[in-house]
Amino acid sequence: MGTRPADSIWHANLATMVPGGAPYGAVEDGALAICSRRLEYVGPAADLPPALSGPGTMRHDANGGWITPALIDCHTHLVFGGNRAEEFEARLRGDSYESAARRGGGILSTVAATRAASEAELLESARGRLKTLLAEGVRTVEVKSGYGLSLASELKMLRVARKLAAHANIRVRTTMLAAHAVPPEYAGRADDYVDYIVAEILPAAVGLADAVDAFAETIAFSNAQVERVFAAARALGLPVKLHADQLSDGGGAALAAASGALSADHLEYASEAGVRAMAAAGTVAVLLPGAYATVGARQPPPVAACRAHGVGMAVATDCNPGSSPMCSLLMAMNLACSLFRMTPEEALAGTTREAARALGLAAETGTLEAGRAAEFAVWRVGHPRELAYWMGGIAPVFVS
Ligand code: NIG
Ligand code: FE
């Protein structure tokens, strides 16, 4: 290490987000050295090994600004057809998210629009939303299927998600969410639909999906049905995640933990026992304040219990047309503070280090540490707490 000059060196204050030391893992008056798109040195500028500075090394100065890890949106449904502004309006007249779903609206209305859309149309609309996310310093985005609910349409969604990565030159992690709702052709036959997922959709998603997700809820799938999907995922070598305890306590947090899930997401109604199980399993809590606000939830997720038991908390947009029509991860951080009482430091850890863990990417990205990918954002702010303080609307001056 340090034997050849770096490609570039940045001088700035660093919010490394490495836990255990100063808040934000802060290094004031720090330096980052980058070799072949990897972080070679991260630390005080005064200790930068001289061998890293050569004649060809590009030098940048953030002029007293801060560098954070590039942001990670670890839970989105970015690819979908149509929108649900009418359902939003109906909710404001007194309808509920669940009753729209029970009438065959909700997720199923997006399924109809997504099935009808061509791959090119889905790509075009998702690219618009992605552009908004990326402008805020996001470099990694998780994208779920789950509005196709048939072999052809689920694979179509995953292909579009993969194409987004190539178009934008970012990292996309795809998640198969065929167990999102029971499609109309299987109405009243949820178990048959689960058979179809296990026998046909999941095997065909190998190579296109990085993980498997499911929606455990009274309006979606039972825990027994989720377990069947997860067993099939495991047999195919795919990690799992779960939409858990969003609208009611169904024991989803404990189910996710028992399944060794990377994350359990939403968690408004998760019990303390569920949180404890997640702590033991190392399952990350992905908190989604956009969905909490939009469906008019009354009970925030158990942030204090996660803190007390040492469960890592990620924060994501949940960008989707029904419960969270939001394309700003900075806004999600702000809402996580105001609505869930997370600290600005927890919110930033939630969109960097913990988001990386929720995607199984902790060894690659999410913190500023030698050996990690050189994925970072340079901000003209006086302190990293400002990222969660502003209600969106700020942008990094440089993103790598
Ligand atoms: O994460 N909870 C279920 N799935 C999505 C919402 C999907 C929708 O309403 O279209 C969520 O909130
Ligand atoms: Fe979701």
Instruction: Indicate whether residue 243 lines ligand 1 (CB < 6 A).
Output: yes
pLDDT bin (cut points 50, 70, 90) of residue 103 is confident
Q: Using an 8 Å Cβ cutoff, are 306 and 342 in contact?
A: no
Written as one string, the DSSP assignment of 330-362 is: HHHHHHHHHHH---HHHHHHHTTHHHHHHTT-T
Q: Ligand 1 atom closest to Cα of 80?
A: 10
Instruction: Indicate whether residue 125 lines ligand 1 (CB < 6 A).
Output: no
The answer for residues whose C-beta is within 8 angstroms of residue 263's C-beta and 6 or more apart is 74, 75, 241, 242, 256, 283, 284, 285, 286, 314, 358
pLDDT bin (cut points 50, 70, 90) of residue 340 is very high
Instruction: Indicate whether residue 291 lines ligand 1 (CB < 6 A).
Output: yes
Q: SS3 of 370, please?
A: coil
Q: What is the pLDDT of residue 97?
A: 92
Instruction: Indicate whether residue 108 lines ligand 1 (CB < 6 A).
Output: no
AA letter at 326:
M
Q: What is the pLDDT of residue 75?
A: 99
Q: Quote the CA–CA distance of 61 and 100 in Å, as a whole number.
A: 53
Distance 17 CA to ligand 2 centre (A): 26
Distance 397 CA to ligand 1 centre (A): 33
φ and ψ at residue 272, rounded to 5 degrees: -65, -35
Average pLDDT over residues 113-133: 98
* Three-class SS of 26-46: EEEEEEEEEECCEEEEEEEHH
Instruction: Indicate whether residue 322 lines ligand 1 (CB < 6 A).
Output: yes
Instruction: Indicate whether residue 220 lines ligand 1 (CB < 6 A).
Output: no
Global pTM exceeds 0.85: yes
Instruction: Indicate whether residue 40 lines ligand 1 (CB < 6 A).
Output: no
Q: What is the pLDDT of residue 299?
A: 96
Pairing relationship of beta strands 58-69 and 26-35 according to DSSP bridges: unpaired
Q: Ligand 1 atom closest to Cα of 243?
A: 2
Q: In this model, does residue 1 exceed pLDDT 80?
A: no
Angle 160-164-165 from CA coordinates, rounded to 5°: 125
Instruction: Indicate whether residue 244 lines ligand 1 (CB < 6 A).
Output: no
Please tell me the residue having the least CA distance from ligand 1 atom 6. 323
pLDDT digits 0-9 by tens, 240-260: 999 999 999 999 999 999 999
The answer for residues whose C-beta is within 8 angstroms of residue 329's C-beta and 6 or more apart is 71, 73, 133, 136, 138, 315, 316, 317, 351
Please tell me the residue having the least CA distance from ligand 1 atom 9. 322
pLDDT digits 0-9 by tens, 223-234: 999 999 999 999
Q: Ligand 1 atom closest to Cα of 106?
A: 9
Distance 86 CA to ligand 2 centre (A): 19
AA letter at 289:
P
Instruction: Indicate whether residue 154 lines ligand 1 (CB < 6 A).
Output: no
CA-based nearest residue to 384, from 356, 343, 355, 354? 343
Please tell me the residue having the least CA distance from ligand 1 atom 1. 318
Please tell me the residue having the least CA distance from ligand 1 atom 3. 215
Instruction: Indicate whether residue 247 lines ligand 1 (CB < 6 A).
Output: no
Instruction: Indicate whether residue 252 lines ligand 1 (CB < 6 A).
Output: no
- Ligand number nearest CA of 82 is 1
Instruction: Indicate whether residue 245 lines ligand 1 (CB < 6 A).
Output: no
Residue % of the chain over a pLDDT of 70: 99
- Ligand number nearest CA of 77 is 2
pLDDT bin (cut points 50, 70, 90) of residue 2 is very low
Pairing relationship of beta strands 398-399 and 376-379 according to DSSP bridges: antiparallel
Q: In this model, does residue 157 exceed pLDDT 70?
A: yes
Probe ligand 1: pick from 76, 77, 84, 315, max atoms within 8 Å of CB? 77
Instruction: Indicate whether residue 334 lines ligand 1 (CB < 6 A).
Output: no
Q: What is the pLDDT of residue 104?
A: 83
